[in-house]
Amino acid sequence: MFVAIAALLADDRDARETLSRAAARTVRRGVDVGAWVAVHLVLADRLLQVIRKPEEFTKPNRAPLPGDLVILGSALDPRVRVALDVLPSESTNKIKVRDPEAEAHARQFVATHVNYVAWWEREQPKRVRTGNLAP
């Protein structure tokens, strides 16, 4: 559900404030609401960065993980999806993503044929330098 609204949330100041106020009103004992909201806003921002400029992100030097953002070819919509699962397959892995148009509502891609990046990354994401883009 969060993925469906995250990109919109990242770009809308009013929506961010509404999320913060709603979370503050529904506090659970032992939960740091401010930290929870901050983490989710970072995730929303990261998703929007990848959606806006998918060509700037390079594949990490690791196998794909569930929760990674999978960057598909430009002919597919949505182009950026969340890895639901990673399945071993002979010499590589297959990444399973949600696809509401598929019969099983999921689709698999060979990991070596798609790009993927960590959704949650505490450090600056690796980007491809093209032209005079800032790091």
28 in a structural domain: yes
Q: How many domains does the chain have?
A: 2
The range of the structural domain enclosing residue 45 comes to 2-52
The alpha-carbon radius of gyration of the chain (Å, integer) is: 16
What is the rounded distance in angstroms from the CA atom of residue 32 to the CA atom of residue 117? 27
61 in the same domain as 42: no
60 in the same domain as 48: no
134 in a structural domain: no
Query: 132 versus 17: which is more confidently predicted?
Result: 17
Q: What is the mean pLDDT of the chain?
A: 88
Q: Is the pLDDT of residue 131 over 50?
A: no
Q: Is the pLDDT of residue 76 over 60?
A: yes
Q: Is the pLDDT of residue 24 over 80?
A: yes
Average pLDDT in the 100-124 region?
88
95 in the same domain as 81: yes
107 in the same domain as 65: yes
48 in the same domain as 63: no
